[in-house]
Amino acid sequence: MRTIFKATPFALPSHFDRLVNELFNAPAGDCQCPAPVNGIAAGNAPLALDISEDDTSFFVRASVPGFRKEDIQISVHEGVLAIEASRTEVAEETKERFLRRERLTGSLSRKVSLPAPVVESGTTAELENGILTLTLPKVRKEEPRKISIK
């Protein structure tokens, strides 16, 4: 005779229990899943942005820790800002055996629509201490011009 179990919304499937137990109870290096970086699997991390403005420009600050300026591509086209940073793993010959490897390899990217038109050719970028700062000058609005009658 079969035993009938009552299902509850709080019961976890057994394969999920097994995965969690493997993840947290396995010795470092035994887990077959990618090591999370701040809760995000390496290679899939989003690019965190702050966007601010003043009367003349938009300012975008992006966190790109560990990336060099050569690793970052920026474009502005038709009101869309695109930032991509990619880094490949450098092959290291060492006698060491890794117990945990969490340094990010892969790429980060983000596309955002800008809230107003910008002068694309006037955009500047600086990279300092892992923070990419972009300055995007706004297109100046034409002031109404009075026309005199001759």
What are 59-69's pLDDT values in tens digits?
999 999 888 99
pTM of the model: 0.60
Within a domain: 74: yes
pLDDT tier at 8, thresholds 50, 70, 90: low
Within a domain: 117: yes
Residue type, 143: E
Within a domain: 36: no
DSSP line for 40-59? EETT-----EEEEE-SSEEE
CATH number reported for the structural domain that contains residue 113 in this entry? 2.60.40.790
Within a domain: 126: yes
Q: Per the structure, how many domains does the chain have?
A: 1
Within a domain: 17: no
* 69-106: pLDDT as tens digits: 999 999 999 899 999 998 877 666 777 887 777 766 77
Quote the domain boundaries for residue 120: 43-91+101-137
Q: How far apart are CA 71 and CA 84, in angstroms?
A: 8
Q: For residue 59, give every residue at least 6 positions away whose Cβ sits within 8 Å of its Cβ, in sequence order, or none.
A: 51, 52, 53, 133, 134, 135, 136
